[in-house]
Structure 1
């Protein structure tokens, strides 16, 4: 069977005067063409947007909806100040621990408070992308591939991965100052970025 045969399921050969036919269906102006009744939407082929009512699947890779070609990365100064504010959140529990060196009850309360604040900050960062410091500086931690919060488990893994930032003379903590995506080593390992949220 050749492509020019009458029973060819792939359509007729192209006629330079008629243009490219459409997969075996007659085109407008050709014999056998029938116009669709009024009220019936035309059939859509590949490359057309999806019909209303069918959710369009998000493609893999950043940026998510709402951002341009490059997401608004947080700069090194914003990240540093956010970390500083997060450290200040622990100040009161640390003072309780220091005073508690002489008063055992305060030591116990201080240690519990440090653990509680650390867990609370981790949950907030995983679920919303913001610790107290990040919220104060208007920045947010998200997954680079989706632009969504990374979840509590991944936030915990990222905290552990920050050891990589400290191993090489703390170079990883300074890396966002010149990195194109403003990432620390931990961010690169975990596939995360910190963006401006406002």
Structure 2
């Protein structure tokens, strides 16, 4: 990592050449979704009924009262907590990438991780934010830029 001044901000740690490619980030999200949906399906028996596939609740209109919804929320919170303090989710660890604060190069912590997840709502507008890493020089979504986080590649051979 090297120290660099980026986008008019004070000097921050920015791993110029080690940011994660867009497709690897997408694959990590897919893996995370599969892990959570598999957990929720195994526990509740409601396969494919978790939030990431069908939206909040199910087609019966039960919304937040279904056990699958609560299990989904709990599993997602657990995964975000692990990411907050390690920088990894299941998908990120498997693919050798992790989330870090751009000012320290360390995992961002719980509050910043939750803020980043809520900021992903901005990314979801017309999907433009999710596609932004394809052309942004630091491969950041809008959520990453606003939360001052980066998704980086781990050094080859470094243990997780």
Alignment TM-score > 0.5, same fold: yes
Please, which of 48, 57, 72 is the counterpart of residue 18 of structure 2? 72
Paired residue secondary structure (1:179) = coil
Cα distance in 1 between the residues matched to 2:138 and 2:96: 17
More helix by share: 2
Question: How many residues of Structure 1 are paired with residues of Structure 2 in the alignment?
Answer: 130
Aligned to 2:128: 171
CA contact 2:37–2:72 (8 Å) conserved in 1:
no
Please, which of 71, 81, 96 is the counterpart of residue 46 of structure 2? 96
Find the structure with the greater CA-based Rg. Answer: 1
Higher RCO, Cα 8 Å, sep 6+: 2
Q: Deviations over 1:41-69 (max 9, x none)?
A: xxxxxxxxxxxxxxxxxxx5214xxx6xx
Cα distance in 2 between the residues matched to 1:71 and 1:117: 33
Task: Report the TM-score, using the length of structure 2 for normalisation.
Answer: 0.72
Task: Please say if 1:61 is aligned against 2:19.
Answer: no
Aligned to 1:188: 145
Distance 1:145 1:71, change over 3 A: farther
Aligned to 1:143: 101
Q: Please, which runs of 5 or more residues in structure 1 have no aligned partner?
A: 1-59
Cα distance in 1 between the residues matched to 2:75 and 2:131: 26
Paired residue secondary structure (1:170) = helix
Structural mapping, 1:8-23, within 5 Å: none
RMSD: 2.6
Please, which of 83, 93, 99 is the counterpart of residue 29 of structure 2? 83
Cα distance in 2 between the residues matched to 1:181 and 1:158: 16
Residue 108 (structure 1) shift: 4.6
Residue 90 (structure 1) shift: 2.2
More strand by share: 2
Q: Please, which runs of 5 or more residues in structure 2 have no aligned partner?
A: 1-10, 50-56, 156-160
Residue 136 (structure 1) shift: 1.1
Cα distance in 2 between the residues matched to 1:109 and 1:163: 25
Task: Report the TM-score, using the length of structure 1 for normalisation.
Answer: 0.59
